[in-house]
Chains A and B, each alone.
Chain A
Amino acid sequence: MAKNWWKILSVLLLIYTLIAGFLMAVPRLVIVNETVRALYFHVPMWFGMVVMFLVSTIYAVKYLKTPTVKYDILSVEFANTGLVFGLLGIFTGMIWANYTWGSPWHGDPKQNAAAIALLVYLAYFVLRGSVDNQEQRSRLSAVYNIFAFAAMIPLIFIIPRMTSSMHPGNGGNPGFNTYDLDSRMRMVFYPAVVGWILLGIWIATLRIRMRKAEEQILEIEDYA
């Protein structure tokens, strides 16, 4: 139980997010109205994705330094979870855009760049699927993983800010300012981010443990 405190923390933070996210006061803004509450769910998906991909890249580098199956499994499964978060982020964004911008796909630089970033990561799984040799697959995909992360950061955080974008926090003004996010919303938003990230790590670790068990079974079978 002592080892699992962060899982409990994640659940508590998510319950708080749901309750405070819907019941606490939010700024009364035109166009977005009540949908501003979607911020507690849509934005943490992207934060989660970036964290998962960062961890994935760290293990890709570790794999290249010392090639062991363990690092490869960690790298893949964090990328897997990151992709799920990214897809949820882009689809929740489409629902929100349909309401506030008028159409689900607006061709906004932020949307386009996010879609490209996800495609870059999808190619990672295509690459893995297309190489039979396990060592080769691990090494090639680890190298590609570093490239994918290096492409994702400017695509999501830099390019949309250099052009005009309707997405809040873009088009010249970096990050959240007082207009986008007031102190009442921060009280829910930051715990929400931590809660969702911890949930992502929980799901990723479960997948990793299953993959490791699978590897052990294969070892035992080889031995017998």
Chain B
Amino acid sequence: MRKYLLLVFLTLSSLATQAQQEVEMADTMRSEGKIYVVVAILCLILFGLIGYLALLDRKVSKLEKRLSEKK
């Protein structure tokens, strides 16, 4: 009986500590403003790739124009 009581007590106490525990998030990184570095890098990569895609789009448009002239 004692064993079970102990078990129940331990489970409850562990649940209680879990509830108190804050979920760990990158709060320090945010408060230091370093998250902006990450966002800036990702935005630059996105701009680069999209710019490249836009250039490809223009090239294909030119090709289509030349082809329609030939017809």
Contact = CB atoms under 8 A, between A and B. Distances in A.
A216 B71 contact: yes
Interface residues of A, number: 22
A95 interface: no
B28 to A, nearest CB: 12
A220 B70 contact: yes
Contacts of B70: 220
B39 A15 contact: no
A19 B43 CA distance: 8
A18 B42 contact: yes
Contact of A216 (B35, B56, B67): B67
Contact of B35 (A7, A22, A28): A22
B26 A34 contact: yes
A202 B50 CA distance: 10
Per DSSP, are chain A's interface residues mostly helix, strand or loop, or mixed?
helix
A57 B43 CA distance: 34
B12 interface: no
A199 B67 CA distance: 26
Contacts of A202: 53, 57
A68 B54 CA distance: 29
A30 B23 contact: yes
Interface in A17-33: 18-19, 22-23, 28-30, 33
Interface stretch (A47-55, A125-133, A203-211): A203-211
Contacts of A29: 23
A14 B54 CA distance: 15
B43 A18 contact: yes
Given A34-B25, A206-B56, A14 B67 contact: no
A14 B53 contact: no
B60 interface: yes
A202 B70 CA distance: 26
Contact of B25 (A18, A19, A28): A28
9 contacts: A7-B54, A7-B57, A18-B46, A19-B39, A28-B23, A30-B23, A206-B56, A206-B57, A213-B63
